[in-house]
Structure 1
Amino acid sequence: MSLEKLYSQVVAISLAILLAASTAFAVEATGDGIDRQQALNSALRTAVEMQIGTAVASDSIVESGVLVRDEIASHSKGYVTSYKVLGEGPTADGYAITIDAVVDSELLYSDYTTLAILQKMSGLPRLLIFGSGAGFDSVPQESMKELVHAVSRTFSEKFQFEVLDWPMTRAKYSEIEGSMSLKKAAKFNRLLKADYVVTVELELPRDANPVMHMTCVRISDGLKIGEVRRPVEQYVSLSGKPAEVYRRAVEAAKPETYWASVRIARELLDNMESELDRGKGFRYSLTFLGFPELPSVCSVLEDIPGFVRKEIKRQKGMNMEVTYWSTLRAENLFKRISTALKDDGVEKFQSRMEGRSMKFRWQNPEGF
């Protein structure tokens, strides 16, 4: 099934569910556990599972052993906006509690749809994830390694993204010195081969809980795709040695990695979907230098599968710059163009791809 059809089907199902659901529902649920906290967590999960409903519960979307429904239920606390204890007390096996929980139905179904799409999609974008300590009250990048790893695991293990965890892999790219930044990611993307940058920042304001700040930027053109700010539930005292304060803050922020990642993942999907829905596909910049038969090149581009439309921005002599829209992902399109040029008789040319910018030069000139 094509990506466009998949999006259309999932969006249609999502809209039907959302129209049938109000924003929030009160659900009575009971939970058991060895202590009160475990029993409460069980009751919260039961409330969310009840709200997911039979339509969602019957969907057994599995990818790499991850069940979407279980993923939602295991993070049930984030979908319960409030709850009231109706009854509680010790039992022969531990503790039991009954609550009246208000579940954010719209958020739940929205997240379910996001996860379902992510689990089904193939060829997901490649993400470069690193810590950002730009703010005055932010945890330094070097102290953020553990939190960056947690975010990376969420994107890779839960959502099946291809992830480049910068703290873990920086030794592989000795050419890149110092701390990673968006500017460096764009400059060295010929090595990194990433589609998007995800930055993770942890702010430590005085007399307030830490705030997790995550952004997603498309490397090819610097477009900000999404941004999330989530307060950390646990207060972190700033007393003590800085290294110890930073360690406590990172540990407190780990539970927020899932929620921030879901929000960023949704922004990514919405951006990709909106491009396709507008009938433009993904936008690319193609440059052809020294090609003697530019009309032939134009014909080749229009015959490539996934072609939507093109605009010639500049053309002079044997050089041409084209804005090109395609439903193909960048790496696939790059290979398709190269193969199509060779099939058209262009045997000697050099090519280079940086994000969504692709350059092709006739034969083998120096300096390319």
Structure 2
Amino acid sequence: MFFSLLLGVLFLGVPQSLPAQQDESRVEASGMGNTDDVALKDAMRNAVEQFLGVLVDSKTMAENFQIVSDKILTASQGYVTDYEIISQSRDADGMVNMRIKARVQKTAVLDDVRSLKIFQSTKLDNKRLMVIYSQDTEGPPESDPSVSSAQTAANDFFLKKRFRVFDETVVREINQELSQYQTDPEARLIQLAKGRGAELLIKFNLSYYIKPGDPFYIAYSRMQSKLFDPTTGRLLATSENRSKQVFSQNTTVAGAEDAVAKASAKVAQDNSQSLLENIVDFFSVTGAKEFFLVFQDFPEGDLEKISSTIQNGGFPQFRELSLQAGTLELEIFDDAQTISDLRKKVKQILRGTGVELETLESSGNRLIFKRAKS
């Protein structure tokens, strides 16, 4: 579970592990709704919210109550391992009032709190992410409603996590360019995504089929995806998910298409959730300090000076990604809080080398320098 990424609140220190016998916390909470099920879900949410209140500074909780209230709902049932209904009644307005005693799984909540810390420290909500459909032999064409539904669902998922997602216009332009390349289109896609400034790239394919039955049909959808770091070309993760949607055999053609679209949207959401966890795992290893430096249009001698000075003068953790045609690309790790802080540090380190440079681009976790005009 990873929905706590959405909470946007600052958690206090979290212990690294819990003894098995302390893995659950008993919480009593009340809920209300127009049905038994709605009231139960509300009570579960309130139980988990109470447990979170133990971890969250009271002032922060007060300031962010609406965020917590809205975002915890989806995840709350997953945290509750067992519950007992203590009391239940229906008031004069027909609303169900329910009080439960719930067992909240501590480690599940605390793991998500740690994930939230990673999410905040890596500034994932500032990452430029591109989601693009890649048709395979079994998949529908890009114009199929199921593809549009899956694409929209994936984009919406990451937008809600506050990633900077490329819009459909850019994606269409890239697909048009890709149609002209028959050799190694995946490598070309990565290059195009990098050229547009994407920091993360999700390439997915989709397939579906309808299984007839009586009295219901079932629309099955499958999504396979790859997650890339366009700057380095690294494959970070793969994911495959399946989903289904039941509909009546008497449904119209439009209704059947709608069922397929819903199944495709659901599988895209599940797939995106899986990839998000991989993104967080990746950045928890590389840390919040990953940056990319590009030096363009420099003489070879200057690039050698830059590389050695960067390595020895303050960025011992670095990797040379590319050196060709007057351009040097480096991956570095640093504790700079902003890209502006990093820019100042790079210029300070290179000041004594005689290399004159000026900033061409500064965005996300990427800095591009060019040779300054003398």
Q: Same fold (TM over 0.5)?
A: yes
Match of 1:216 among 216, 227, 230: 227
Counterparts of 1:195 and 1:154 in 2: how far apart (Å)?
17
Q: Compute the displacement of 1:233 (Å).
A: 7.5
| Residue 296 (str. 1) matches residue 305 (str. 2) | yes
Q: Is the 8 A contact 2:81 2:105 kept in 1?
A: yes
**Letter in structure 2 aligned against 1:106:** T
Task: Deviation per CA, 1:63-115: give whole Å up to 9, x if none.
Answer: 99973564223542343456566665543222234556554433333233333
Task: Deviation per CA, 1:239-265: give whole Å up to 9, x if none.
Answer: 867764343243356567666545433
Q: Compute the displacement of 1:194 (Å).
A: 0.1
Q: Which runs of 5+ in 2 are unaligned?
A: 1-9, 212-217
Counterparts of 2:57 and 2:98 in 1: how far apart (Å)?
24
Q: Is the 8 A contact 1:284 1:325 kept in 2?
A: yes
Partner SS for 2:130: strand
Q: Which residue of 1 aligns with 2:316?
A: 308
Matched ranges for 1:151-300 at <5 A: 151-157=154-160, 159-165=161-167, 167-170=168-171, 176=177, 182-199=186-203, 204=208, 206=211, 210=221, 215-229=226-240, 232=243, 235=246, 244-252=255-263, 254=265, 261-276=272-287, 290-292=299-301, 296-300=305-309
| Residue 150 (str. 1) matches residue 157 (str. 2) | no
Count, aligned residues: 348
Matched ranges for 1:38-77 at <5 A: 38-56=38-56, 58=58, 60=60, 67=67, 70-77=70-77
Q: Is the 8 A contact 2:222 2:267 kept in 1?
A: no
Change (3 A) 1:149 1:55: same
Q: Compute the displacement of 1:186 (Å).
A: 1.3
Of 50-59 and 235-244, deviating more is 235-244
**Letter in structure 1 aligned against 2:96:** Y
Superposition TM-score, scaled by structure 1 size: 0.65
Identity %: 20
Partner SS for 1:270: helix
**Letter in structure 2 aligned against 1:67:** I
Q: Compute the displacement of 1:155 (Å).
A: 2.1
- How big is the alpha-carbon RMSD for the aligned residues of Structure 1 and Structure 2? 5.4
Q: Which residue of 2 aligns with 1:112?
A: 113
Counterparts of 1:329 and 1:191 in 2: how far apart (Å)?
25
Q: Which residue of 2 aligns with 1:5?
A: none
Task: Deviation per CA, 1:318-344: give whole Å up to 9, x if none.
Answer: 989786533379987789768977985
Counterparts of 2:222 and 2:86 in 1: how far apart (Å)?
33
Q: Compute the displacement of 1:285 (Å).
A: 8.8
Q: Which residue of 1 aligns with 2:132?
A: 130
Q: Is the 8 A contact 1:18 1:109 kept in 2?
A: no
**Letter in structure 2 aligned against 1:160:** R
Q: Which runs of 5+ in 1 are unaligned?
A: 1-9
Counterparts of 1:133 and 1:153 in 2: how far apart (Å)?
21
Partner SS for 1:188: helix
